[in-house]
Amino acid sequence: MLETLLTLPGFIYQAGGNYYFLGKWICRECTDVDATDSVAMYQMCRDAKEEKNAALYFQKIRAYSDFALEIPYDPEKIRTDMAALLASLSDADRASLEKQIRQVQEDM
């Protein structure tokens, strides 16, 4: 899962009860309510097969993720932080995250 996330553009995922910006250029917690609400709306629209609305929220989440990037880019810190986050997840949380990653890959 780590290697997959490190190849994907940034996106907001729910993991272990929190939201995180995860991707090849970012690994940090997301506490912005508007951004996390967009994740919930994306999931609801996707589950309801409302593709047009899901696509809109997908793009909003991508934009939030791009604006959250930190300079300077530190790939080793991102890898280390992401590995620690993934190691801390329960089996159920890992399964949920894997499902979210598959959905993002399908919608790209």
pLDDT, tens digit, 9 for 90 and up, residues 29-57: 999 999 999 999 999 999 999 999 999 99
3-state helix, strand, coil in the chain (%, to 5): 60, 15, 25
The model's pLDDT over 61-75, given as tens digits with 9 standing for 90+, comes to 999 999 999 888 899
pLDDT at site 58 = 97
Instruction: Please classify residue 107 by burial: count the beta carbons closer than 10 Å to its beta carbon, then call 0-12 exposed, 13-18 middle and 19+ buried.
Output: middle
